[in-house]
Amino acid sequence: SGAHSRCFRRRCAPSPFSPERTSSSPVHAVRMQSRSASAARGGWLRPRHSCALIKPGVRTAPPRAISQTADNFKIKPAPVLVPEGDWTVDAAGNVCSAKGFKATGAYCGLRRSGVKADLALVAADVDSVVGGTFTQNVMCAAPVLYCKDVMSRKKTARVVMTNAGMANAATGDAGYADALETVKLLSTEMGIPADDVLVQSTGVIGMRMKMEAFRTAIPELVPTLGSSLEDGNRAAVAITTTDLVSKSVALKMTLGGKEVNLGGMCKGSGMIHPNMATMLGVVTCDASVDAEVWQGMVKRASVASFNQVWVPVWARAQAQVWARVWALGAGRAVQRAATLDTSRACPHLLRACDA
């Protein structure tokens, strides 16, 4: 019919913007000439279907995988309750107070909600003696199993990485593989052996790690390592979970005629009994101490301090599966290694660790 033919012709008619309709149009010719001239001058061109301005030859940078804005570190610091002793308390100090250490923290999208920082690094400039205490639970999270294996083979480390949001516990072989991959990612980015990396995870049990977030965040996070107190504070915030405050402090003392600094940070809110439960911590020290002596100090100090903390409302009958405390000694202040039996310095250092 006539109506059908008209509809068919309208559907099959070329578009107003098609070459058949525009190539011979004077208006189209002038428009294309104007666009070509603008491009030749290096001017800005507005795409037909976008409001964005794109300059030829200029690419926009991809979005960053980490964030270190003020919104990521809103949590306040805890009051300092260190007892008096033969040391000076630095209330504003942290893991960066000890010479030879750097730290950082950032929001990397690991938490289920919110934008609080959730990935932290504490790194030593040189190989550092390491001491550690672990949860007493028979069931251990993947990072605990990995770190126990590393410490059975060596007594030094270079960096501790801590993430919040996922505990990587009750995740089986897949969770252990995730832990190994995070270690490899960080060691590759820092140019150090994988055995120099220690890892800690805290958060939801039974949830797999967000590996894509780690893969994109670690290359951006490593260059932000710094030795300022602000860098240490970022790390202290990034390891918290339900904590209402971040927890850091530093002590300064004189051992063997040399100044020694001891810095630390930890997390844990409520579920910290018995034997640390969900508590995590990192301690740094710039004194040179024998590996076996340092391990003994860390263990005795943990028993006298962390293991004594009890919040009755949240008390649990068993230690949690990821609790641990790491202590790194870089040996920058005391050039000669001390031994517990012959040195007068070690008892003072042990009391400071207890504090």
From the candidates 133, 162, 278, 284, give the one annotated as an active-site residue: 278
53/79 Cα distance (integer angstroms): 51
What residues does 324 pair with on adjacent strands? Answer: 134, 280
Q: Which residues contact 157 (CB under 8 A, 6 or more apart)?
A: 124, 127, 128, 130, 150, 195, 196, 197, 198, 326, 328
Q: SS3 letters for 227-281? A: CCHHHHHHHHHHCCCCCCEEEEEEEEEEECCEEEEEEEEEECCCCCCCCCCCCEE
- The answer to whether residues 329 and 99 touch, using CB atoms and an 8 Å cutoff, is no
Known catalytic membership, residue 278: yes
Count of CB atoms situated within 10 Å of the CB of 2 = 6
Q: What is the DSSP letter of 45?
A: B
Pairing of strands 280-285, 324-329: parallel
120/117 Cα distance (integer angstroms): 8
Residue 317, class by beta-carbon neighbours within 10 Å (0-12 exposed, 13-18 middle, 19+ buried)? Answer: exposed
Using the structure block, give the residue that is written with the tokens 């202590």.
327
Q: Which residues are catalytic?
A: 278
